[in-house]
């Protein structure tokens, strides 16, 4: 891993495309923007592998077997003798080896280069092991990034993270040029219909069944409304239980006689398709079941494109939909979802007003802006680290 200029050398640790993983997409989006920012060489990735083999591009310079502790140790030693200026660790408990991903601890304890950690999950009730992992990784890091303002206090009070290390940076959203809502509806064959949508990997925690049930009442007043469920089943869910959840949803649609009003797109979406699905939507839905979800990439995308959002009140939704940027329905309550949807569809002016409010925040979340914030932090921490190292050597 040799770089040829005086620019800064950044390496990411986490999953990488083409592995089907939200963190892999997040890393790629950030990496693609950093390539255009002066002062950095093209960033690289050290990919964490599960039990599958992936055809990586050349940006992946090294791989770690998730379940092989020696790979972590060897990689830490490799980084410590390389010309890498800063490591960026994408943290999610499930992608690293050992109980709750504990193999990350000996890795960071062995590193001699500075690292930033991005916490994608911040649990309010972690196990002792989970708390220890996050505390130790944060302790040895130079900066801890969280993507929800509500989790800053949790990192301090629950995980014992030094408040001065914490940076709040919104989840980034890709910028894609598209046609208008009406043009995209025409393009996809949905002209004249009111589109509600959800996108992302399908899994039981998404609560899609409650949105489908809500559509029974919605179509009585708006018979041309259409609920689009975009995305394939989550790879882990499919491996463990097959298509049981999707089939349950399909059966519900038939039982409620909604085959004209609920449509599934069962495939991994391209980035353009994701954005098209949002832009053509009149309402974006996240009826998730877990109250403690601190960050949702799909909800961030919805906000980024100024969609009106109907959601259950999980933590991230409460934060992002404050100040009139959407409506919150009760958990596991199709009647509550139905009421929110009808409140919007029956009042187009309310939709327009909410879209303007949401877009005001959404514009600040595009990746080209978010990447500048990351780049500034990376540069600052690299300079701080080099200065500290010089002092330790007794030169100053």
CATH number reported for the structural domain that contains residue 339 in this entry: 3.40.50.2000
Confidence of residue 392 (pLDDT cuts 50, 70, 90): low
From 92-106, 144-158, 373-387, the region with the lowest mean pLDDT: 373-387
Same domain flag for 188 and 263:
yes
Same domain flag for 294 and 372:
no
The pLDDT of residue 386 is 78
Selection from 130, 177, 113, 120 nearest residue 305 by Cα: 177
Confidence of residue 395 (pLDDT cuts 50, 70, 90): very low
Residue range 189-239, pLDDT digits in tens: 999 999 999 999 999 999 999 999 999 999 999 999 999 999 999 998 999
> Is 2 part of a structural domain of the chain?
no
- Domain enclosing residue 360, as ranges: 181-365
Burial of 257 by CB count in 10 Å (0-12 exposed, 13-18 middle, 19+ buried)?
exposed
> Is 5 part of a structural domain of the chain?
no
The pLDDT of residue 3 is 47
Same domain flag for 372 and 359:
no
Same domain flag for 32 and 140:
yes
Instruction: Identify whether the C-beta of residue 326 lies closer than 8 Å to the C-beta of residue 308.
Output: yes
Selection from 170, 119, 123, 164 nearest residue 145 by Cα: 119
Same domain flag for 231 and 165:
no
Q: Give the span between the Cα atoms of 330 and 323, in whole angstroms.
A: 18
- Across the chain, mean pLDDT equals 95
The pLDDT of residue 391 is 54
Does residue 163 carry a pLDDT above 50?
A: yes
Same domain flag for 135 and 216:
no
The pLDDT of residue 390 is 52
Does residue 61 carry a pLDDT above 80?
A: yes
> Is 342 part of a structural domain of the chain?
yes
Same domain flag for 59 and 154:
yes
Q: How many domains does the chain have?
A: 2
Q: Residues with Cβ < 8 Å from 20, sequence gap 6 or more? A: 201, 235, 268
Query: Strands, E, within the chain: which ranges?
Result: 10-14, 44-49, 60-65, 86-91, 115-119, 143-146, 166-168, 195-199, 226-230, 262-265, 283-286, 309-311, 326-328
Same domain flag for 256 and 343:
yes
The pLDDT of residue 176 is 93
- Considering the entire predicted model, what is its pTM? 0.92
Same domain flag for 135 and 242:
no
């Amino acid at each position: 891993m040799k770089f040829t200029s005086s620019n800064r050398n950044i390496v990411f640790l986490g999953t990488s495309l083409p592995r089907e993983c939200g963190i892999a997409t997040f890393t790629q989006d950030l990496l693609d923007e950093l390539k255009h920012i002066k002062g950095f060489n093209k960033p690289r990735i050290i990919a964490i592998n599960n039990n599958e083999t992936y055809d990586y591009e050349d940006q992946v310079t090294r791989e770690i077997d998730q379940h092989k502790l020696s790979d972590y140790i060897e990689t830490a030693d490799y980084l410590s003798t390389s010309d890498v200026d800063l490591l960026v660790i994408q943290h999610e408990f499930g992608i690293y080896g050992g109980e709750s991903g504990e193999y990350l601890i000996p890795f960071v304890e062995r590193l001699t280069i500075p690292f930033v950690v991005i916490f994608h999950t911040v649990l309010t009730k972690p196990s002792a092991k989970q708390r220890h992992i996050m505390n130790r990784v944060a302790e040895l890091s130079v900066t801890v990034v969280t993507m929800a303002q509500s989790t800053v206090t949790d990192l301090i009070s629950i995980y014992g993270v030094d408040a001065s290390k914490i940076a709040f940076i919104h989840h980034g959203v890709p910028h894609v040029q598209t046609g208008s809502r009406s043009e995209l509806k025409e393009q996809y064959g949905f002209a004249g219909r009111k589109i509600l949508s959800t996108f992302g990997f399908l899994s039981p925690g998404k609560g899609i069944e409650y949105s489908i049930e809500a559509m029974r009442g919605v179509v009585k007043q708006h018979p041309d409304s259409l609920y689009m469920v975009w995305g394939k089943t989550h790879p882990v869910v499919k491996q463990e239980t097959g298509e049981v959840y999707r089939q349950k949803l399909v059966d519900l649609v038939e039982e409620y006689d909604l085959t004209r009003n609920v449509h599934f797109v069962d495939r991994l979406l391209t980035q353009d398709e994701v954005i098209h699905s949002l832009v053509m939507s009149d309402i974006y839905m996240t009826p998730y079941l877990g109250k403690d979800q601190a960050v949702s990439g799909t909800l961030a995308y919805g906000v980024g494109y100024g969609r009106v959002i109907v959601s259950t009140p999980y933590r991230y939704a409460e934060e992002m939909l404050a100040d009139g940027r959407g409506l919150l329905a009760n958990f596991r309550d199709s009647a509550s979802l139905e009421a929110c949807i009808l409140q919007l569809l029956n009042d187009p002016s309310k939709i327009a007003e909410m879209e303007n409010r949401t877009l005001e925040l959404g514009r600040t979340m595009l990746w080209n802006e978010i990447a500048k914030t990351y780049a500034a932090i990376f540069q600052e921490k690299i300079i701080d680290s080099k200065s500290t190292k010089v002092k330790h050597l007794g030169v100053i």
